[in-house]
Structure 1
């Protein structure tokens, strides 16, 4: 019997597997897909996630390969938040394909001794583990659902997933451009719709946006290259010479959150716990941060170093973070999908505030980047220099608590208790 079985080998499940092994727990990851999905939904790695990687000594490949972007957008507004004001060694986001992120995280989990099985679809729960579609039972003391918005684990545990259905749809196209924008990037917003363009490896560009025609509840149908070309042309005045699509997709703004992140021996993380419109590129990051919070706690419980009550703090700490995530993505969705003259005026006013009110810009950037997250025990601790000549992030690589002048720091980089008054 394993200590933990994880359903889902996306970034959340893979980071959790590594964290559990760091804490001494045995773990098997079950992934329904026989091969990694080549189409990368996520591209953005935010500053707090880079810090998390640095706290485990695995940030370098991400820093070496990712494209550094020194600012971020809120709701697609033209004036961008300046990340240089953030108190972090990594005042930027990294643009890196999710497929590559998963490859790096899987390599780490395997190095640390995690078992990863592909082509194994979890069909349901048993009293001591999970049952696969083929009938095999994989036994474990705990089961963690990292299996996405349609989570089988969540449904089998009877955890409700309330929220709202889609009322608007975005579109995405990974294509080749014969006439790309200058520097490869573009951010265009007009009454005809909104559009962002980002260069990807291999001469591909990602075009992502929305427009009034799909600003409605009903499913608009599968996206075609002709539709994408016409829509982009209306918004930007050119289709940038797009051709040879690699991936065309739509996504909606259905927004939901699990009422509980734990039900006995079953826990949820990532998209299994929260779903939302992908504004700001935060989804994968919050999932990894869920796993970072849960990993050391679950490992401590299964190895007998902590009482099971520690697991209750996972829901207590991360559920409010998920609720705030949904609030912010809904607010950004409203800004991104308002095409009326009044909506355009609102966008203009808020955009100017971001450009001219540094406190507002920094506040939004801290929330978007994940650096503002704080729990009842205390806030995230920056990379403090330590007396022995190392830094906090270096000392956290063991996955143990670290004593600092700011107080005792938990394995996830947050204070273990609020500073004394």
Structure 2
């Protein structure tokens, strides 16, 4: 069987890749070993940049319109969060963007993305376990072998996206090496029914022995996570028992905490992995297949979502023959540094969480920093990925750089010939956007004629919320070009095929 792209792994990240590719008209097949969506409680947090990018692709609602005034550069009060379990952090976003933190169970997102993938025409094959991934240089493709309910299945595809988790078969079969940090702590999780409901209050509890995080649910269960910094578990792949969780919680709390019914027991650690490349030929890695870190700060799901949204439009253009010569190479260059920063900041947070009086002073310093507005800006941007600036795409030999390229274009009200709209709504069609503002902006129109089949060109009135005369905006919301650097045609020829000029002419 054949397809243009195979996605291996049907968690929320893999389903999002499939939904995006299919929406672009790419013949996409997704292979997932599970028969259905797992109800096991996992991630529940989407941070601001992931929320903003999902809104631009129509997966989440845009802010209600209309809204008035030049307030796009203002900020909300913010959503309260934490850093290393310390309260006081606020995640903010411009007032025209969606709320900066979205709480949504991972299973719900997975179902939503799967529904959109199927509606767009993607083939979703559940109970298909991938066993082989072989790139064929002569055929310019990849052969995927899998075991399905009816026996072996073989797919010949042009590209493969590995979204198959921390123990990725795609990563292993593609021969992609990783840099790792071994586990140094042990942690347990589970949903339990406490014998005394008030025995463990909701929230973060730090003791001289470690941490307990507790949260109640609508069924009267208490979801618990523990952190024991005494060392890694002797065999962290063994499934935990209810008795082990009870003993661990009681030991950390320093008192007996009795438990009844228990569900969703699991263990985790601070083992981290960063693939040395997110691309090997025609094979790409996204989400946990590319990077794994200690789950503090709720950054894992958001990082995987941003991987998917960064890769999908580029891969779709490549399949359609509309990608510029450097476009696919930008995926690894843009996403690996972000994943490395996530691993580093989670390791820093864990260092602050380790018990011991020698760290009390350091925790006190960070608590003071969190109380200061400046620290909120840095740490909030770090956790929410809103401080991400993408590396330059235009080659240095062009001699000119655009200071705005690689930054994110926040939402703003725009007045066009058909009425008021905004950045989010203009990007929901998935096409790169050439925004021309006023008469000066209109002067750039002729430079883009050769790319009319790829771009969405929109003319709007000048506005102080978008202080440019023209902008080239990627489908994920990042600025690809603005006046002041290379010519527009040079930028277009790097990103997209079909132009009469090249960036290195």
TM over 0.5: yes
For 1:271, what is the secondary structure of its paired residue? helix
Instruction: Work out the number of aligned pairs and report it.
Output: 411
Other-structure match for 2:376: 361
Partner residue, 1:47: 48
Q: Which residue does the alignment assign to 2:234? A: 218
More relative contact order in 1 or in 2 (CA 8 Å, sep 6+)?
A: 1
The structure-2 alpha-carbon separation of the partners of 1:364 and 1:263, relative to structure 1 and needing over 3 Å to count, comes to same
Gap change, CA 1:251 and 1:159, over 3 Å in 2:
same
Q: 1:202 to 1:106 in 2, by over 3 A?
A: farther
Residues 193, 339 of structure 1: 8 Å contact kept: yes
The equivalences for 1:259-278 within 5 A come to: 259-278=276-295
Moved more, 111-120 or 301-310: 301-310
| Offset of residue 334 of structure 1 | 1.6
Aligned alpha-carbon RMSD (Å): 2.5
For residues 235-384 of structure 1, the aligned pairs below 5 Å read 235-236=252-253, 242-307=259-324, 309-336=326-353, 338-355=354-371, 357-376=372-391, 377-384=405-412
CA distance in 2, matches of 1:382, 1:82: 19
What secondary structure sits across from 1:89 in the alignment? coil
Residue 177 of structure 1 and its aligned partner are, at CA, apart by: 4.2
- Structure 2 unaligned regions, length at least 5: 65-77, 137-141, 392-404, 436-465, 486-505
Query: Separation in 2 of the partners of 1:308 and 1:347?
Result: 48
Partner residue of 2:396? none
Aligned to 1:130: 144
Displacement of 1:178 in angstroms is 6.0
Contact in 2 for aligned 1:269/1:287 (Cα 8 Å): yes
Say if 1:414 and 1:351 are closer, same or farther in 2 by CA, change over 3 A.
same
Distance 1:181 1:383 in 2: 45
1:45-84 mapped onto 2 (5 Å cutoff): 45-60=46-61, 70-77=79-86, 79-84=87-92
Structure 1: which 5+ runs fail to align?
Answer: 64-68
How far has the Cα of 1:261 moved from its partner?
Answer: 0.9
Aligned partners of 2:310, 2:429: CA distance in 1, in Å? 15
Identify if the C-alpha distance between structure 1 residues 183 and 80 changes in structure 2 by more than 3 Å, giving closer, same or farther: farther
Normalising by structure 1, what TM-score? 0.90
Change in Cα spacing, 1:112 to 1:179, as seen in structure 2 (3 Å) is: farther
In 2: Cα distance, 1:19 partner to 1:281 partner: 23
| Distance in 2, Cα, partners of 1:284 & 1:302 | 27
Change (3 A) 1:155 1:286: same
CA distance in 2, matches of 1:295, 1:195: 38
Partner of 1:66 in structure 2?
none
1:102 to 99, 110, 114: 110
Match of 2:433 in 1: 402
Distance in 2 (CA, whole Å) between partners of 1:181 and 1:93 is 29
Q: Do the aligned partners of 1:86 and 1:366 also contact (CA within 8 Å) in 2?
A: no
Question: In structure 2, do the counterparts of structure 1 residues 409 and 99 end up closer, same or farther at CA, with 3 Å as the change threshold?
Answer: same
TM-score by length of 2: 0.76
> CA separation in 1, counterparts of 2:100 and 2:432?
27
